[in-house]
Amino acid sequence: MKITLIGGGKLGKQLYNGCTAASEIELVQWVVRSAQRGKTPEGISLVNDVNVLHPTDLYLLAVSDQAIPKVAAALPEQAFVVHTAGGVALDVLNQNRAGVFYPLQTFSEGRNMDFSKLPIGLESKDASDLPLLEKLVQALGARAFHMNSKQREQLHLAAVLVNNFTNHLFAEAATICSQNDLPFELLNPLIQETVNKLEYLSPKAAQTGPAVRHDQKTIEKHLTLIQERSLQEIYKVVTLAIQKKQ
Amino acid sequence: MKITLIGGGKLGKQLYNGCTAASEIELVQWVVRSAQRGKTPEGISLVNDVNVLHPTDLYLLAVSDQAIPKVAAALPEQAFVVHTAGGVALDVLNQNRAGVFYPLQTFSEGRNMDFSKLPIGLESKDASDLPLLEKLVQALGARAFHMNSKQREQLHLAAVLVNNFTNHLFAEAATICSQNDLPFELLNPLIQETVNKLEYLSPKAAQTGPAVRHDQKTIEKHLTLIQERSLQEIYKVVTLAIQKKQ
């Protein structure tokens, strides 16, 4: 299958690596806005303009949410255009042949993404285009899940909770450790166990701590220990939410 | 070293398993309030009353925070009494020989705890008692970290953030998945990567998502997707905290 990849950001780079490593995928051109035209070290045609594209089976957009409609509008009307965003509806793509390829992962600079087993949310305007998306997922070694735009935006919200918000809690914990001359690494086994527990317990059943046991003395003590207003707010609302949920 | 273990809750059971498995530890008696007096399957003397205890090198209290002062007060004045609580100061123990042995982990029913490499926060009134606590940690295969009561209570607060609060975010995400006919397991690779990233990036540097990139459109959309008031509050305060921190 011939593919055009558009976008040179974090996700674009990972998709570039994934596509060039997969023998079933022929990456024809890679569009990177800030790049000089030429060839990548892997011999792929590198361009900086969507108006010089060769026809391919699929145009994969790894651009910012805001840029998706504009970039799609610049592509041929008959092209099969696929975006990669969790929170953007399928219908922002004006082409009749349009789809979504949403990799449920966080992508960081300098980290090589392992596509194997990675869940990819798939959607297409026309069901006859799904097999091509499934073939792409398979070529990358990932796992395909069909979902509509409503499910995908909810999944994106859930991803924000378990990744962005969880990471913020890690950042707050790291600050507490550093302010008290404690290595953040002390918390690693606890963090790992918090995740490992999910294999055999639902998170609701796994809930422990002062909030769920209504240990008001510890809760009030923690609130006096916290200096920063924003962390105090988090402590209060999450404690109440835990107590409401159980 | 001869030890008396007091407490038959989640932590008490894990310590019982750890102590009976360690050849350097002689567990003399195990006090479990609700138990019938007799012998455990491993042949340890099981009692339900702290007034029938034999003298040992160390009395390890795995009881609730609230029960610690009362249980300690019932033990001999000359005993070496050690509690296991993250958020309880050393000086609630009235003995002159007193200490803290705080395993930085979450303990669930039905899950066998791996003490190897587990960080244990140690403190003692008299520094000459520390070697015995270190010996206990070593016998369990765990790792000793010296910290005072102030550091320990801060570490306990950090533990609440990375374990209890993180787990609540997992519970909210699980609810969203189930309400939208999506398997929660879809989020596993993302959760695992959120943790794996900590090995090479500080959580502050690893922060991604709508909050940190001030993507107000997505933030507002997510707030409309959330039905429950308590999760809306969490979404708002964590988003603001991320934006303030970066």
Domain identity same for B43 and B141: yes
Comparing CA positions, the residue from B73, B72, B74, B75 lying closest to residue B83 is: B72
Residues A98, A89 contacting (CB under 8 angstroms)? no
Mean of per-residue pLDDT scores for chain A: 95
Interatomic CA distance for residues A197 and A205, integer angstroms: 10
A216 has a chain B CB within 8 A of its CB: no
Choose the final residue of a domain: A99, A123, A147: A147
- The token pair at B146 is 């010296």
pLDDT band at A52 (very low <50, low <70, confident <90, very high): confident
Cβ contact, residue pair A65, B218, below 8 Å: yes
Domain identity same for B132 and B171: no
Domain identity same for A80 and A168: no
Which amino acid would we find at residue B80? Answer: F
DSSP E strands in chain B: the ranges are 2-6, 26-31, 38-39, 45-47, 58-61, 81-83, 98-103, 119-124, 143-146
Domain identity same for A111 and A58: yes
Q: If you ran DSSP here, which 8-state letter would residue A163 be given? A: I
Interface of A with B in 53-112 (CB under 8 A): 65-66, 87, 104-108, 110-111
pLDDT at residue B111, rounded to an integer: 78
Domain identity same for B159 and B215: yes
Mean pLDDT over A120-128 rounds to 97
Is residue A246 scored above 80 in pLDDT? no
- What b/e sequence results for A161-191 when a residue is b if at least 16 CB atoms lie within 10 Å of its CB, and e otherwise? bbbbbbbbbbbbbbbbbeebebebebbbbbb
- Domain CATH code at residue A92: 3.40.50.720
Interface probe with A: pick from B150, B190, B208, most Cβ of A within 10 Å: B190
Is the model more confident about A145 or about B113?
Answer: A145
Residues B51, B79 contacting (CB under 8 angstroms)? no
Domain identity same for A134 and A14: yes
Helix, coil or strand: residue A53: coil
| Model confidence, pTM | 0.94
- The token pair at A179 is 């302010």
pLDDT at residue A166, rounded to an integer: 98
pLDDT at residue A111, rounded to an integer: 78
Mean pLDDT over A62-86 rounds to 96
A223 has a chain B CB within 8 A of its CB: no
Domain identity same for A98 and A163: no
Burial class (CB in 10 A: 0-12, 13-18, 19+), B181: exposed
A225 contacts on B by Cβ (under 8 Å):
153-154, 157
Comparing CA positions, the residue from B123, B188, B126 lying closest to residue B156 is: B123
Integer angstrom CA distances of residue A170 from A150, A159, B214: 30, 16, 20
Interface probe with A: pick from B161, B182, B227, most Cβ of A within 10 Å: B161
Domain identity same for B157 and B193: yes
Task: Report the interhelical angle of B229-245 vs A166-179 (nearest 10°).
Answer: 50
Helix, coil or strand: residue B241: helix
Interface probe with A: pick from B166, B182, B219, B235, most Cβ of A within 10 Å: B166
| CB nearest B162 (choices: A110, A170, A182) | A170
Choose the final residue of a domain: B132, B147, B162: B147
Interface probe with A: pick from B168, B184, B201, most Cβ of A within 10 Å: B168
Give the HSE-up count for residue A158: Cα atoms under 13 Å, Cβ half-sphere. Answer: 28
Model pLDDT for residues B96-136, shown as the tens digit of each residue: 999 999 999 988 777 788 899 899 999 999 999 999 999 99
Interatomic CA distance for residues B98 and B92, integer angstroms: 9
B240 has a chain A CB within 8 A of its CB: yes
Interatomic CA distance for residues A36 and B128, integer angstroms: 69
Domain identity same for B57 and B26: yes
Cβ contact, residue pair A241, B225, below 8 Å: no
A174 contacts on B by Cβ (under 8 Å):
202-204
| One pLDDT digit (tens) per residue for chain B, 246 residues | 999 999 999 999 999 999 999 999 999 999 998 888 999 988 899 999 888 899 999 999 999 999 999 999 999 999 999 999 999 999 999 999 999 999 999 887 777 888 998 999 999 999 999 999 999 999 999 999 999 999 999 999 999 999 999 999 999 999 999 999 999 999 999 999 999 999 989 999 999 999 999 999 999 999 999 999 999 999 999 999 999 987
pLDDT band at A92 (very low <50, low <70, confident <90, very high): very high
Domain identity same for A19 and A140: yes
B118 contacts on A by Cβ (under 8 Å):
189
| CB nearest B168 (choices: A105, A173, A207) | A207
Cβ contact, residue pair B164, A65, below 8 Å: no
- Domain CATH code at residue B238: 1.10.1040.20
Domain identity same for B18 and B108: yes
Choose the final residue of a domain: B107, B130, B147: B147
Give the HSE-up count for residue A145: Cα atoms under 13 Å, Cβ half-sphere. Answer: 21
- The token pair at A182 is 């404690």
Contacts of B91 (CB under 8 A, 6+ apart): B98, B125, B149
Model pLDDT for residues B126-155, shown as the tens digit of each residue: 999 999 999 999 999 999 999 999 999 999
B111 contacts on A by Cβ (under 8 Å):
197, 200
B187: which strand partners? none
pLDDT at residue A14, rounded to an integer: 94
Q: If you ran DSSP here, which 8-state letter would residue B30 be given? A: E
> Per the structure, how many domains does chain B have?
2
B176 has a chain A CB within 8 A of its CB: yes
pLDDT at residue B112, rounded to an integer: 83
Is residue A109 scored above 90 in pLDDT? no
Distance from CA of A152 to the nearest CA of B (A): 9
Interface of A with B in 138-157 (CB under 8 A): 145, 147, 150-151, 153-155, 157
Domain containing residue B162: 153-245
pLDDT at residue A51, rounded to an integer: 87
Model pLDDT for residues A174-231, shown as the tens digit of each residue: 999 999 999 999 999 999 999 999 998 999 999 999 999 999 999 999 999 999 999 9
Distance from CA of A156 to the nearest CA of B (A): 9
ipTM metric: 0.94
Domain identity same for A67 and A108: yes
Distance from CA of A209 to the nearest CA of B (A): 6
